[in-house]
Amino acid sequence: MDKNRVLGHILMVKEKRILLIDDDAHIREMYCKALTRQGYIVSLAINGKEALEILNKLKPNLIISDYNMPVMDGFSFLKELRAFDPETPVIILTGASGESVENEARKLGANSFLNKGMGIGSFIQEVFKFTAQKQTIVNQ
């Protein structure tokens, strides 16, 4: 059977896997619920070191990482990741804003940089840019 299922004009791609990395349990839960509602399979890590261990067993379609975390922060994680995986898209999340932080993230290989204060709808739209070609947002 075809891996893709066509529903009218919507193409739903099965098993879109996301690795979500954040040390804040509330943030992890909020984003995980929103992504799961959209049909994503979400794996969670609390820091970059744990995420690298997960990546030994999992190949996600997208990685979403917090910037500021203990043990291994988002930038250190991104440097390590890009050494063995230059392809997988990465979105960096941060509560801190600043052009210099965003520029550094992009220099290290981040595909997108988002502020944690953005709404869930905008967050999901950004995720869609890196995953499904055609999909609709399920009502929040």
- Model confidence at 117, in pLDDT bands (50, 70, 90)? confident
Q: Which residue has the tokens 């049909």?
A: 39
CATH code assigned to 14-129: 3.40.50.2300
Q: How far apart are CA 97 and CA 114, in angstroms?
A: 9
> What are the pLDDT digits (tens) for 23-65?
999 999 999 999 999 999 999 999 999 999 999 999 999 999 9
pLDDT tens-digit map of 81-110: 999 999 999 999 988 767 888 888 889 899
Looking at residue 89, its pLDDT comes to 95
Say what the pLDDT of residue 105 is. 86
> Residue 136: pLDDT above 90?
no
Cβ atoms of 90 and 131 closer than 8 Å: no
Alpha helices in 55-98 (DSSP H): 74-84
User: What are the sequence ranges of the domains in the chain?
Assistant: 14-129
